[in-house]
Structure 1
Amino acid sequence: MTPLGHRRLILTRHAKSAWDDPALEDHDRPLNDRGRRSARELGDWMASRGYEPEEVLCSSSRRTQETWEKVAGAPLEVRPILRIEPGLYQASPEKMLQVLRTATQPTVMILGHNPGIAEFAAQLCARPPLDPDFRRYPTCATLVVDFQVDDWKDVRPGEGSVMDFVRLDGRD
């Protein structure tokens, strides 16, 4: 639970997807084995730090939904509201902010895609993490950022305080 006047965003790029079927549409690509392992590790990492979303805004792509399924398999205490948001598929930072502003719970997780998610993460932070891969936002990268606002509608770029940043999926 986050206190009044405080909102927390957990911003996650989907885990590593499979490329073994060239005929498959991008939207329909599943996770590969490494991606499934990384997403499970992300769920464990989140639970160990108390980063528990009350609402999940997930792109409609197969790989983002599978990432959430693996994260949700961790021992999280909260079972969040899950909203599949087609507008998050390949979304621009502006679209991601628009979707975030519709959130109803104090702690929200967004699962999305590059390049939009990397740009969105960079825009949100007052001071970005020092991690050299932050601006690249590799697969399964996750930023935890807090805002001192009462409502998601009041979130503005450049006002987020970075609480944590993790990369679990290697260098791609």
Structure 2
Amino acid sequence: MSDTSRRIIVLRHAKADWPQVADHERPLADRGRHEAPEAGQWLTDSGINPEYVLCSSAVRTRETWKLASHELPKRTRRTVFEDRIYDATAGEIIEVLKETPEEVADLLLVGHNPGVQNLVEVLAGDESLGDELAQLRQGGFPTAGIAVLTFDDPWSAVEPGVARLVSYWVPPRD
């Protein structure tokens, strides 16, 4: 057991457009360009300024992170654009999380559904806040939604049930 509390902040990419391009190359829609900064502002308002970001290499996730990050008070120390997060299962994302440097306390993951929702559900242990977990399970993980999980073990020990879901936010829809 580590004496360092860690956070995994999971951000689903903002609303994407559907132009005639490969899925990996889909950009944000107009709504997504408004949602992403709202997500960044929520992070700032919540006192979250991640030091390490794992972002899918897809265009829509990269654009989401760029727009969200402009709302943060400090620049993130390191952003890694990771091909393995694109179209990944919860188990595949967990394997990527296990490679996080141990000195990192706050990690933000920018990814896609259904992988990010499944990841949150799999990591969230029995001590997670019931309302947030129920809301996520019932309403899904909408675009630009954010889930915040905490745990006290080393990154190499990330596994199902190890974390606690402490916050869940969905951007307002007009």
TM-score by length of 2: 0.88
| Residues 40 and 68, structure 2, Cα contact 8 Å, conserved in 1 | yes
8 Å contact kept, 2:129–2:166: no
User: Aligned partners of 2:163, 2:106: CA distance in 1, in Å?
Assistant: 14
The aligned runs of 1:90-129 (5 Å cut-off) are: 90-104=87-101, 105-126=104-125, 127=128, 129=130
Match 1:81 to one of 78, 83, 90: 78
Could you list the runs of 5+ residues in structure 1 that have no partner in the other structure? Answer: none
Which residue is equivalent to 1:12?
11
**What's 1:143 paired with?**
147
- Within the candidate set 47, 50, 53, 2:47 is matched to 50
Corresponding residue pairs, total? 166
Deviates further, 134-143 or 64-73? 134-143
The 1:84–1:134 alpha-carbon spacing in structure 2 relative to 1, beyond 3 Å, is: same
Distance in 1, Cα, partners of 2:81 & 2:71: 20
Which whole-Å CA distance do the structure 1 matches of 2:135 and 2:63 have between them? 23
CA distance in 2, matches of 1:106, 1:146: 10
Q: Secondary structure at the match of 1:51?
A: coil
Identical-residue share of aligned pairs (%): 33
How large is the Cα RMSD of the aligned pairs? 1.8
CA–CA distance in structure 2, aligned partners of residues 168 and 68 of structure 1: 15
Distance 2:56 2:100 in 1: 14
Q: What is the rounded CA distance, in whole Å, between the counterparts of 1:143 and 1:120 in structure 2? A: 10
Runs of 4+ aligned residues of structure 1 deviating over 6 Å after TM superposition are none
Q: Provide the secondary structure at the position in 2 that maps to 1:24.
A: coil
Supply the AA of the counterpart residue of 2:145: A
> Which residue number in structure 2 is paired with residue 157 of structure 1?
160
How far does the alpha carbon of each residue in 1:102-126 deviate from its partner, in whole angstroms, 9 at most, with x for none?
1121110011111111111101111
CA distance 1:169–1:63, shift in 2 (3 Å)? farther
Q: Tell me, which stretches of 5 or more residues in structure 2 are unaligned? A: none
1:119-168 CA distance string (max 9 Å, x none): 1110111136524551321111110110011x211122112122211011
Q: Which has the higher helix share?
A: 2
Whether the 8 Å contact between 1:8 and 1:144 is mirrored in structure 2 is: yes
Q: What is the alpha-carbon distance in structure 2 between the residues aligned to residue 4 and residue 144 of structure 1?
A: 19
